[in-house]
Amino acid sequence: MQYVKIPGDRLGVLIGEKGATLRNIESQANVTINVDSENHRVQIENTAEPFEELTAADIVKAIGRGFSPKDALSLLKNDETIFDLIDLKRLSRNENDMKRHKSRLIGKNGRTRATMEELTNTKIVIYGSTVGIIGLYQQVELVRSAVEMIIDGSRHGSVYGFLERKRQEVNQSKFDRF
């Protein structure tokens, strides 16, 4: 049995219209989910397959951190797809520092976030004091590196160049295998 606490403003997204999203997660992940609306606590249970229970917990966490149910459910498509969370509070000295980091990570009109998503083929959400990432392990690690570079003050162009080089290396290694 897994317990996940999510923000109250995300409970409605998790449950969905007339419980549709919750039922969808339960059926696709083969779990039973109970929501305690007062304490914002979600209980996830699967007595047969612990891996499905852990994946369902990640789906609930991802929705709680701002992902759409569709993006969160992509964790079920492939065993190599993961959800990762970066806590900006740990990387910031104070509240103003965190706000500046969030602004740099989002970019003007969301351009920085969108560019990182495009270059790494991931989904990225910046919500509250966290950066959530869904994608294949290697791509998630690249986003984590890019986030740290931006927080450390690297220029956006340098970060994009880093991601582009890494993408080319991956594409070249795929080509080299044939």
> Residues 60, 146: one domain?
no
Q: Which pLDDT belongs to residue 55?
A: 93
Local confidence band at 125 (pLDDT 50, 70, 90 cut-offs): very high
Question: How many distinct structural domains can be found in the chain?
Answer: 2
Q: Which pLDDT belongs to residue 129?
A: 93
Q: What is the 3-state secondary structure (H, E, C) of 71-113?
A: HHHHHHCCCCEEEEEEEHHHHCCCHHHHHHHHHHHHCHHHHHH
> Residues 107, 46: one domain?
no
Domain boundary pick from 55, 76, 97: 76
> Residues 60, 8: one domain?
yes
Domain boundary pick from 76, 98, 117: 76
Q: Which pLDDT belongs to residue 133?
A: 98
- pTM for the complete prediction? 0.90
Which residue range forms the structural domain that includes residue 105? 81-176
Indicate which CATH number applies to the domain containing 154.
Answer: 3.30.1370.10
> Residues 46, 120: one domain?
no
- pLDDT digits 0-9 by tens, 160-177: 999 999 988 877 766 555
Q: Which pLDDT belongs to residue 49?
A: 82
CB count within 10 Å of CB 85 equals 15
> Residues 119, 101: one domain?
yes
Question: Rounded distance, CA 35 to CA 18, Å?
Answer: 14
Q: Which pLDDT belongs to residue 79?
A: 84
Domain boundary pick from 76, 95, 124: 76
Buried b or exposed e, range 30-40, using 16+ CB within 10 angstroms: ebebebeeeeb
The answer on pLDDT for 4 being more than 70 is yes
Mean pLDDT in residue range 90-118: 94
- pLDDT digits 0-9 by tens, 37-80: 999 999 999 878 888 899 999 999 999 999 999 999 999 988 89
> Residues 40, 103: one domain?
no
Any residues with CB less than 8 A from the CB of 33 and at least 6 apart, and which? Answer: 22, 25, 26, 42, 43, 44, 45, 56, 60
